[in-house]
Structure 1
């Protein structure tokens, strides 16, 4: 979570267990297909990211559509966008919705910090850091739903946002569930448990494609269709959903290609690779923290590795065809 406090003793214990004398091993490609250079610069460096956007130091926002002209209020960061309306929140939980002309459309005072948010019409869906699910009517300025979930103790920083699907609202909880709410009645109609881990068990990925919903925690992926619910256990770093296939990227450098029901068709291992981000087009591009782009076709047959100008040591954001890092960007779908 963006502002979650991770208990120091847990970090200390993890450090001791892992062994302070262990030397980290790095991904080293056998051959390089070329070197990449930046195509241009951003007006400021990235200071915060969520799955669908990044906040720059000057208050501007990069979304999946590219660099926006909106300027967020000072000390606020981006959470989501809908029809030119931008959701932003501060560290203490103050929230605003603004447009590109700096008009404030809605605001909420400091309370509990925001984990994730989404907006559709007059409905603002929030997942709070306390694992409470909230619906706010921004026209009326009042809550129309408030659901408390199980307590959580530590969170993965990758937090999925709520998703509006027809007359349903899908809330990804911080304790590893999907709570499906009827938009009309504002009542929950179904829960789906992805995983039930108390530590770092929040939903980190949520995507709907056609009639299929795919979600993941750090340890499990679920694929839900009108016909079935299927699970895949993995040490998940990221997920990409295409029409008839799903790619699961693991923390130990493996890429798993599955069908829509999560049956593994093929996998490839990139030894010691640490994936910092993934995007796709005609190829799948894996951004490796050591400073590489690993490009593979969607059948995981051919592979090319390119050297980035820098190692990935701070915030990274990717759109369908562009990688943004610090205050630089370049297009990934062009020939290097």
Structure 2
């Protein structure tokens, strides 16, 4: 029987190689170099600076939300340090973001790795909700209907209600949900029933952080506020480029990229650019050269912010990188064994 870890490694390597070849093809055959250089030269860097402030605001709200999910047990600065270092490790040593953040939270804060893992799993649930909500905005804008401006609000409110009911039912019938998920997943190759049950139980325990209506509402509001900051960041970066595009098209471009590649996740260099270019060109939102410039600036700002914040946080928290990286690897190995 094949090792699932080897399969995952080969798949990741294949994605990197394939993405790199596609990126090289784009650069050689689809990019107008003169236009690309002109776009960079005439970019309004004042707007870029303003966009960066909104990005940093979103990152700060990520810390507030994670600390809230962890029941405010770690200190604010401890949570900020751990979050920043986790994202930096994800970028620099290519550790999966969830594993790097879980290990960093367990290393720097008094929260156990297991508790940190369930909290970050809950964060991922919130992220998926934000993606779907942004997808509603994308659909409304793309439809170009007269009522499009009202659809995101109405659709988002309806989705929020459905999500609230679903989470409430999961919390109320946790054991039944666990049994159903175990029954569904135990037939998946490489998964043992006891491992599946342990993972499902840990995921459901993460919902303890929002075991009341008020906590669920606060968590959702923090998530929407975070994504509002991210959306403004991506919109202002687009405004900074010397493009003659209508406002609704610029909003649509920013929303499409936010849905698929939000700043709360980090994708390997080149793969990020390939995905953004493919999205924007496939849907006819921009030309290839503009999409490349937009993707480069977006990703560069995100990477620089997390690296700078991560290095500063590591200095403030007196982190030993070699020991922390070893912990990240151990956390990853444990995760592989339990899934």
Give the structure with the larger helix fraction.
2
Larger radius of gyration: 2
Give the structure with the larger strand fraction.
1
TM-score, scaled to structure 2: 0.28
